[in-house]
Amino acid sequence: MGMQTGKEGRTVMSEINVTPFVDVMLVLLVIFMVTTPILYQGVDVDLPNTESRPMPSLDQERKVVVTLNKDGEIFIEKQRYTLNELRIEIRKVMAERGKNLTDEDVFLRADSSVPYGTVVEVMSEIRNAGVQKIGLITEPVPNDGQR
């Protein structure tokens, strides 16, 4: 459906074809759905199950996540550190990201089989680095309808 412009055989198209737009959006949606689970790759740990409120997204400002695996190895991202190196590395990571140690959260992911004393030692080193807020990451309790 068009309008005459005064020149014979030429019409102005008054409708927008949205098919290419929809195609592009569907491709972007598929790309997003495939890459989202891949974004956070780290060290595998068996997190303890707890009943708690959901944690805010870690990707908001790329929070620092310290991981303690079942063998007692300490990781920041995928890089392994000793307990003695942890304090220095936390300070370096926060400085690189332009973060103030007293205002930013550091999250600790510890495998459920790690002894409590080891978890406390790691938390102590994080606190000794100057971090005031330490969050513990857990898995939600499976909801099987019982309670």
d(CA 101, CA 78): 21
Residue 73 lies in a domain: yes
Q: Specify whether 96 is located in the same domain as 125.
A: yes
Q: Specify whether 17 is located in the same domain as 63.
A: no
Which tokens sit at 103?
Answer: 């205002």
| Exposure string for 107-144, b = 16+ CB within 10 A, e = fewer | bbbbbeebeeeebebbbebbeebebeeeeebbeeeeee
Residue 96 lies in a domain: yes
Q: Specify whether 62 is located in the same domain as 29.
A: no
Q: Specify whether 114 is located in the same domain as 91.
A: yes
Q: What is the pLDDT along the chain (147 residues), one digit of tens a residue?
A: 555 555 566 777 778 888 888 999 999 999 888 877 666 556 566 666 666 565 555 544 567 889 998 888 999 888 899 988 998 998 888 888 776 666 678 888 888 888 888 888 998 898 888 888 888 887 776 765 454
Residue 44 lies in a domain: no
Domain carrying residue 27: 2-39
